[in-house]
Amino acid sequence: MILITLLLILMGSGILAWIVASFNKSAAKWIALLALLTDLVLVSSVWLADTAAVTLGNDAHWISSVKMNWIPDFGMTFHLAMDGISLVMTALTFFLGIISVLVSWKSIEKNVGFFLFNILWLLAGITGVFLAMDMMLFYFFWEIMLVPMYFVIVIWGHEKSRYAGWKFFLFTQISGLMMLLAILGLYIYHGSQTGTYSFNYFDLLGSLPGGSLAFWIMCGFLIAFLVKLPTLPFHSWLPDAYAESPSAGSIIIAALMSKTAAYGLIRFVVPLFPESAKSIATPAILIGAAAILYGAKLAYAQRDLKRLIAFSSFSHMGFILVGVFSFSALAFQGVLMQMVAHGLSIAALFIISEFIYDRIGTFDLYKMGGFWKKMANMGGFTLVFGMASLGLPGLANFVAEFLILAGAWQYDAVLATLATLGLIVSVTYSLRILQKIFHQSPQNDMEKLADLNSREWLVLGSLTIVIIWLGLFPQNVVKVAQPAFDRLGIGQNNTNDKKLGLIDTYNGLINKGKDNNAVKEGGKLW
Amino acid sequence: MNISEILWLIPFLPLLGFLILAFFGKKIPRGLVPVIGTGVVGISALITIVAGINFLSNATPGAVIEQHLWTWFSIGSFHSEITLHLDALSLVFIFVITFVGTLIHMFSSEYMKDDEGYSRFFAYMNLFVFSMLVLVLSNDLLLLYLGWEGVGLCSFLLIGFYYGDTKDAEKNALAARKSFLVTRIGDTSMILGFFLLVKTFNTLNISEILHTAPQVWSSDSTLAVLAAALLLGGALGKSAQLPLQTWLPDAMAGPSPVSALIHAATMVTAGVYLLTRTYSLFELAPSVQIVVAAIGAITLFIASCSALVQRDIKRVLAYSTISQIGYMFLACGVGAWSAAIFHFMIHAFFKALLFLGAGAIILALHHEQDMFKMGGLRKKLPVIFWTFLFGSAALASLPLITAGFYSKDAILWYSFASTKGSVWLWILGSVSAFLTALYTFRMVFLTFYGDQKTEISHYPGLAIKIPLIILGVLSLIGGFIELPHNFGHFAPFGDFLHTILPPAVLNESVGVSEGVLQLVAGVLALLGLYLAWNMYGKQNATRRVSDMPFSPEVASFLASGWNFDKLYDTLFVRPMVWLSKIDEKDFVDGIYRGIGWFNLEMNETFSRSQNGKLRNYLIGIGLGAFVILTIILAL
């Protein structure tokens, strides 16, 4: 039931905030904030109580689940379930939801009620996506994300927001349609084979192991996810949508909505179509690596801070693709960590750009410089998140990138090397953010600049704490998600374990006092 | 007191110092800032000494003290642990880092006194010391990488320390960026090496890898060579060796104590540490080891040539650092691991001393760094002069009396006599030893002899003098803990390290005795001193830039560091910038915009035909009918 509660709180408070806002704007903001806080507390309590295992389908390790009839005639169920991956992602959603409400506290003035309604329903849609275990329900939530986001971009966005909003809408809607067709295809095929027509995830699992039909149906899902992620060559909506949104919108699309696509890859593409997914692994990783490098190059070229950050996000999403299609236990954990870490770091960078915009009224990098003198605290935070985006160890992003790339190397060393080059290019734009704004020569009068106020400190401080905590103690997330990844059936380095077994035998030989040469010979023979 | 329980304090204290200064730096009184900054490192140094004494007196040879803190992550059978690991090698490093670090912090308390970023400076320096200690105390390559990147970050921040509206802000920002990017290239190669190790051994634990590698890989097998070569890439970047040496001379944009601590004594030797720490991987890949020796030898020669013609005192020292680390690489390459570490320690003493001395001079002369505008400081700044002279003598390795002689002589001997050595390596090393003496005393004579050209504005206080004197003494006597073999066996330092590192294997018949080579090295050093005296020291010396027997073209070629910057600029920087300029708008977006444009055009074209004129419609119908009929009839 807790899963339904999570959704109802968001949707209900969205409507409530809309109504209340016409009497009292600040009360509406508090309602939104409290609703999200309640959800965060609920999810955290689940996390702390940790995994009272529920059995679903053929496997245990689900933390919570609820299943009701929806439209039984068509085999649609209202089925929500939470495992480690969804737990981590919903927690991230509520945390960043709170952050985005706090960020918009002052900067959104017109139509506050409708804005909060959109934000809360958007978050509800995202939460639903992370929990839905019925394909139709999943599609329903997938579409719920779309409309509020369109409004947020168009109504509260910057100058070119109509253009950006339409572009976003067209790309995601067309790709969503592909997914709908794929879902229907899967449903019909499954029904015709087994006689039971069902949209339920657990019924559909394993119904299409391989073959060309599986391949084409997978492509339907893939298109939807690759556009939303986004990756090459479907990314062209991204810079406009990210840059023209108000910052709450940018945070939600970049940090959360793109993660629904990553989640979709892990939850649906890989388990539903294991053979077909493996068959496209090489081109998929190649596209991921190309996106990493091309995105970084584009980011470096921008003079608009928000577009720079947007392209950096595009670059980092390449790692997700590389990780998912490496099919290694390390890489899968890396993907989840990347979803969280990138969510935090990209949100923080967009927030910083918003704080700067509040002060100087532009995103133009050429009008910034030398801000450290006046805003050392903001500079310090920018340093943290700039370093996060170039993958400095000690921050969560490093753990993610390391795991993904180490996993990718196990799949193919050359492709992994290509993706790893991204670590070099990411330095160029990350340092550019930091140096251009805070270190290089001042371009303008800095008299009016004021350092962070307490609300801004709270926002950036909490993001910093979480990203460092995850960087040093990632095991907290790894542990919770491991059962979910085990279910994907990817053997962890099986060959290596065997090798090590042999090595242990050799160690035994050494201990018995055999000389080194014999051992070397043994090593060669083996 | 059990060391394995207090080991964590050694890196933690500097971290604590960083946190205090970073969060409360502006609130605590200015006088307290250096007390905190220096104090935390000083206490770390004391704990290190306690730990060291305990380690030396109790431990059996080759012993290791470990403190497990927590599990970083553990996925399936792959673990990464946060564990501190103290053995003979890391003990030498933490001693140098905390001890020399304390002296440099103390020096900085006076040097940076009037800077508005006083607390920021100490915060970064503390963070650096923390990261460096993590680097050398880690037994897991991934934790080592955390320290490795941490020191890179601090180096970046301190090179760009003077920012904003100061006069060189843009140049400093560029130098900072360059150091980060160039070392990052090496780091990326290193992390690729880690991936390879993860795949093969399913662990990054250094002891486990060193233990299992010889059983899994045969000598010079492909994977062994690849692993060693990729790790070497990281070492080359951090230690500023060919071809990734270009960032170090520019790194001198930072304050002088930074150059002393980071860009001379500690961080830049991290590459040597890495090679030594993972020595068995390199012994498994003899072909890579040859490359290490060759890179070391070529780098040390190239850099000492460049040092000959610099005008800026800090750039002379920068090139000499590259060159001295080249000696350490040479030693690693010929399998003389302990000789490399010995030279590392002695180099840390005298190079920190020289950079601090240079800093004191620069401070005394209104931030003048051009040696040709200095001169005659011998009488005015006697403490600086004498200590600087000791440091220079050690750098030039004047025979018998300086520590530098003993450490460098060992390397030259092994480069000749080891089974992996060759006469060519020895020649490059010896010629450069001569050049070293020449450029070192050129610097000394230009700075301290002749006529005084700039007024002295600041006389050094105690905080500057004490570190100089301590380091000066060490530069002279530090060498006596490891005497050459033919001086009778007194080599406690080498014996200590050989509990964990293999000794170099010598050729059975060397042909020349060690004494002869020592004599040659001694004579070469004295010859360099003599030439420098003739050109720059004696009363009627002309002291002109052109006194070096080079044509202007050659001189400027050497001064620019053999034009590597220009080469890289043409090969990499410009194409990258060009590529980002021409495609700022993203051509992929252009395709989609094209689709949109095409549809609008079509819409416009066809909507024009829909104009309500009956005549046009009739013509259209007629033409259509004609075309269709033709097609049907033709078929």
CB pair distance less than 8 Å for A423 and B583: no
Q: Point out the residue among B177, B184, B215 whose CB comes nearest to the CB of A506.
A: B215
For the stretch B546-587, pLDDT in tens is: 667 778 888 888 888 888 888 888 888 888 888 888 887 888
C-alpha span between B87 and B139 (Å, rounded): 10
C-alpha span between A9 and A12 (Å, rounded): 5
Residues of A in contact with B76 (CB under 8 A): 329-330, 492-493
Which residues in chain A land under pLDDT 50? Answer: 491-526
Tell me the average pLDDT across B327-341: 92
Q: Point out the residue among A427, A493, A522 whose CB comes nearest to the CB of B180.
A: A427
Among residues B207, B341, B204, the alpha carbon closest in space to that of B275 is found at: B341
CB–CB of A116/A28 below 8 Å? yes
C-alpha span between B81 and B373 (Å, rounded): 54
The bridge status of strand A59-62 relative to strand A64-71 is unpaired
Q: Look-up: residue for tokens 């408070």?
A: A13
CB–CB of B63/B32 below 8 Å? no
Helix (H, G, I), strand (E, B) or coil at B550: coil
The token pair at A370 is 């030398």
Burial zone of A449 (CB within 10 Å; 0-12 exposed, 13-18 middle, 19+ buried): middle
Number of H helices, E strands in chain A: 25, 4
The token pair at B5 is 């329980």
C-alpha span between A317 and B415 (Å, rounded): 49
Q: What is the pLDDT at residue B180?
A: 93
- The distance of B185 to chain A (nearest Cα, Å) reads 6
Residues of A in contact with B201 (CB under 8 A): 496, 500
Among residues B238, B228, B424, B267, the alpha carbon closest in space to that of B330 is found at: B424
Among A175, A477, A496, A510, the residue to mutate for chain B (most B Cβ within 10 A): A496
CB pair distance less than 8 Å for A492 and B212: no
Helix (H, G, I), strand (E, B) or coil at B458: coil
Q: Tell me if A264 is assigned to some domain.
A: no
3-state secondary structure B168-194: CHHHHHHHHHHHHHHHHHHHHHHHHHH
- The distance of B284 to chain A (nearest Cα, Å) reads 11
Q: What is the pLDDT at residue A50?
A: 65
Residues of B in contact with A397 (CB under 8 A): none
CB pair distance less than 8 Å for B150 and A413: no
Q: What is the pLDDT at residue A509?
A: 39
CB pair distance less than 8 Å for B72 and A475: yes
C-alpha span between A241 and B543 (Å, rounded): 65
CA dist list (Å): B560 to A172, B303, B307, B319: 54, 10, 10, 11
CB pair distance less than 8 Å for A492 and B77: yes
Q: What is the pLDDT at residue B54?
A: 84
Q: Which neighbouring-strand residues pair with A65?
A: A81
B387 pLDDT tier (thresholds 50, 70, 90): very high
Tell me the average pLDDT across B86-98: 91
Among residues B280, B273, B445, the alpha carbon closest in space to that of B345 is found at: B273
* Mean pLDDT over the full length of chain B: 88
CB pair distance less than 8 Å for A499 and B73: no
In one letter, which amino acid is B87? D
Among residues A274, A133, A138, A273, the alpha carbon closest in space to that of A200 is found at: A133
C-beta neighbour count of B610 within 10 angstroms: 9
The bridge status of strand B78-86 relative to strand B65-75 is antiparallel
The token pair at A428 is 């160029």
- The distance of A523 to chain B (nearest Cα, Å) reads 5
In one letter, which amino acid is A134? D
Beta strands in B235-305 (DSSP E): none
The runs of H, that is alpha helices, within A132-158 are 135-144, 146-156
φ, ψ (nearest 5 deg) of residue B221: -70, 160
CB pair distance less than 8 Å for A472 and B592: no
The token pair at B591 is 């395709």
C-alpha span between A457 and A449 (Å, rounded): 16
Helix (H, G, I), strand (E, B) or coil at A206: coil
B160 pLDDT tier (thresholds 50, 70, 90): confident
C-beta neighbour count of B181 within 10 angstroms: 19
- The distance of B198 to chain A (nearest Cα, Å) reads 7
Among A409, A414, A426, the residue to mutate for chain B (most B Cβ within 10 A): A409
Length of chain B: 635
The token pair at B463 is 């905080």
The bridge status of strand A76-82 relative to strand B65-75 is unpaired
Nearest chain A residue to B212, by CA: A503
Q: What is the pLDDT at residue A520?
A: 38
Q: Under 8 Å CB-to-CB from A45, ≥6 apart: which residues? A: none
CB–CB of B25/B123 below 8 Å? yes
C-alpha span between A312 and B52 (Å, rounded): 47
C-alpha span between A141 and A137 (Å, rounded): 6
Q: What is the pTM of this model?
A: 0.90
**Per the omega criterion (within 30 degrees of 0), is the bond before A230 cis?**
yes
CB pair distance less than 8 Å for B216 and A523: yes
Length of chain A: 526
- The distance of A174 to chain B (nearest Cα, Å) reads 14
In one letter, which amino acid is A83? D
C-alpha span between B216 and B209 (Å, rounded): 10
What spatial distance separates the first Cα and last Cα of chain A, rounded to whole Å?
56
DSSP A180: H
CB pair distance less than 8 Å for B188 and A475: no
CA dist list (Å): B176 to A100, B323, B359: 34, 21, 19
Q: What is the pLDDT at residue B19?
A: 93
Residues of A in contact with B71 (CB under 8 A): 475
CB pair distance less than 8 Å for B184 and A496: no
**Per the omega criterion (within 30 degrees of 0), is the bond before B243 cis?**
yes
CB pair distance less than 8 Å for A492 and B180: no
- The distance of B581 to chain A (nearest Cα, Å) reads 6
Among residues A6, A132, A136, A139, the alpha carbon closest in space to that of A71 is found at: A136
For the ranges B215-224, B288-297, B471-480, the one whose mean pLDDT is highest: B288-297
C-beta neighbour count of B591 within 10 angstroms: 12
Q: What is the pLDDT at residue A51?
A: 58
ipTM (interface pTM): 0.90
Q: Which neighbouring-strand residues pair with B85?
A: B66
C-alpha span between B482 and B539 (Å, rounded): 38
CB pair distance less than 8 Å for B75 and A232: no
The token pair at A70 is 């929806």
CA dist list (Å): B622 to B253, B616, B618: 82, 10, 6
Beta strands in A320-393 (DSSP E): none
Nearest chain A residue to B593, by CA: A236
Q: Point out the residue among B76, B196, B212 whose CB comes nearest to the CB of A409.
A: B196
C-beta neighbour count of B109 within 10 angstroms: 21
Phi-psi region of B62 (alpha: psi -120 to 50; beta: other; left: phi over 0): left
With 90 as the cut, is the pLDDT of residue B497 above it? no
- The distance of A267 to chain B (nearest Cα, Å) reads 19
CB pair distance less than 8 Å for B580 and A380: no
C-alpha span between A448 and A361 (Å, rounded): 12
Q: What is the pLDDT at residue B348?
A: 92
- The distance of A147 to chain B (nearest Cα, Å) reads 22
Tell me the average pLDDT across B79-103: 91
Q: What is the pLDDT at residue A480?
A: 87
- The distance of B553 to chain A (nearest Cα, Å) reads 33
Q: Tell me if A230 is assigned to some domain.
A: no
Could you state, in order of their start, the residue ranges of all structural domains in chain B? 337-549, 586-634
CB pair distance less than 8 Å for B180 and A399: no
CB pair distance less than 8 Å for B75 and A329: yes
C-alpha span between B372 and B333 (Å, rounded): 38
Q: What is the pLDDT at residue A521?
A: 37
Q: Look-up: residue for tokens 């110092």?
A: B17
- Domain residues for the domain of A487 are 281-494
CB pair distance less than 8 Å for A233 and B165: no
Phi-psi region of B215 (alpha: psi -120 to 50; beta: other; left: phi over 0): alpha
What total number of domains does chain A contain? 1
In one letter, which amino acid is B605? T
What spatial distance separates the first Cα and last Cα of chain B, rounded to whole Å?
103
Q: What is the pLDDT at residue B101?
A: 93
CB pair distance less than 8 Å for A405 and B77: no
Residues of B in contact with A394 (CB under 8 A): 146, 149-150
CB–CB of B163/B36 below 8 Å? no
C-alpha span between B195 and A401 (Å, rounded): 12
CB–CB of A209/A193 below 8 Å? no
Q: What is the pLDDT at residue B563?
A: 86
- The distance of A336 to chain B (nearest Cα, Å) reads 13
CB pair distance less than 8 Å for B153 and A333: no
Q: Point out the residue among A298, A330, A524 whose CB comes nearest to the CB of B78.
A: A330
Q: How many Cα atoms sit within 13 Å of B395 on the Cβ side?
A: 40
Residues of B in contact with A472 (CB under 8 A): 72
3-state secondary structure B185-242: HHHHHHHHHHHHHHHHHCCCEHHHHHHHHHHHCCCCCHHHHHHHHHHHHHHHHHCCCC
Residues of A in contact with B200 (CB under 8 A): 496, 499
Q: Under 8 Å CB-to-CB from A104, ≥6 apart: which residues? A: A115, A119, A246, A247, A248
Nearest chain B residue to A507, by CA: B212
CB pair distance less than 8 Å for B163 and A442: no
C-alpha span between B239 and B419 (Å, rounded): 25
- The distance of B496 to chain A (nearest Cα, Å) reads 24
Share of chain B above pLDDT 90, in %: 45
Measure the CA dihedral A417/A419/A421/A426, to 10°. Answer: -160
For the stretch B400-421, pLDDT in tens is: 888 888 888 889 989 888 888 8
Q: What is the pLDDT at residue B431?
A: 92
